[in-house]
Amino acid sequence: MIELGSSRLAGLPDAGLVAAPLVWLSGWVIMRLGGASGPNAGWDVAHALWIVGFALFGAAAYALSRLVGRSLVGRVALVVALIGAATLVVQMVIDLVVGLCAVDKPAMDDLYDKVFAAPGVELVFFTVGPILLFVGLLALMILAALRRTANAWQALLVLLGIALMVVGRPADGALRLLEGVGAVCLWLALAPLARRPEPNR
């Protein structure tokens, strides 16, 4: 029984490599279909998915760290990615609670004003913290490519995916599609790394 449980837990990081970008993309699609006009069911479902998605990104970062080995740089990159994932989970929880408590858009704005009035909340959970996830993921991918436990094209695809998500997020209209394309790029880069053997240490 212990071995079975350990085996299942060992598969969670690999599941993150495959599922994290897809779960995030599912929430993104729901938001584009009307969730962004929240508070509404779309807003709530999308943010609930993103809570799961960013937790899975943390698992994916751990899976990548196994391909990097026990180097100091790899450990630092993993910690950076995990901190970023944690701050994004907190951000999504805040957004979900605001959506559940507000009756309309102006009420949401008022609630956000109250949340951001707390020192450091906006800076840590909405500005600086989220960036760390993608910095950590990219660093881990580059290290894995240097160790040849991942391919160089995968590291480049992660870089492209992150760049497209950054460019697409503040955009309007058709350009917002770049954010979704970025998530697909992350999936194409990360999913093939699932179930690969760890390097010899």
What region does 120 belong to: left with phi over 0, alpha with psi -120 to 50, or beta? Answer: left
User: What distance lies between CA 3 and its chain's CA centroid?
Assistant: 30
Whether the full predicted model's pTM is greater than 0.95, yes or no, is: no
Return d(Cα 175, Cα 61) in angstroms, integer.
28
Q: According to the model, what pLDDT value does residue 4 have? A: 36
Q: According to the model, what pLDDT value does residue 76 have? A: 97
Q: According to the model, what pLDDT value does residue 10 have? A: 54
Q: According to the model, what pLDDT value does residue 16 have? A: 94
Return d(Cα 191, Cα 117) in angstroms, integer.
40
Structural domain boundaries of the chain?
A: 12-193
Q: According to the model, what pLDDT value does residue 125 have? A: 96
Q: According to the model, what pLDDT value does residue 173 have? A: 80
Residue 121: count other Cβ atoms within 10 Å of its Cβ. 17
Q: Could you list the pLDDT tens digit for every one of the 201 residues in the chain?
A: 333 344 444 567 889 999 999 999 999 999 999 888 889 999 999 999 999 999 999 999 999 999 998 899 999 999 999 999 999 999 999 999 999 999 999 999 999 999 999 999 999 999 999 999 999 999 999 999 999 999 999 999 999 999 999 999 888 888 889 999 999 999 999 999 987 544 544
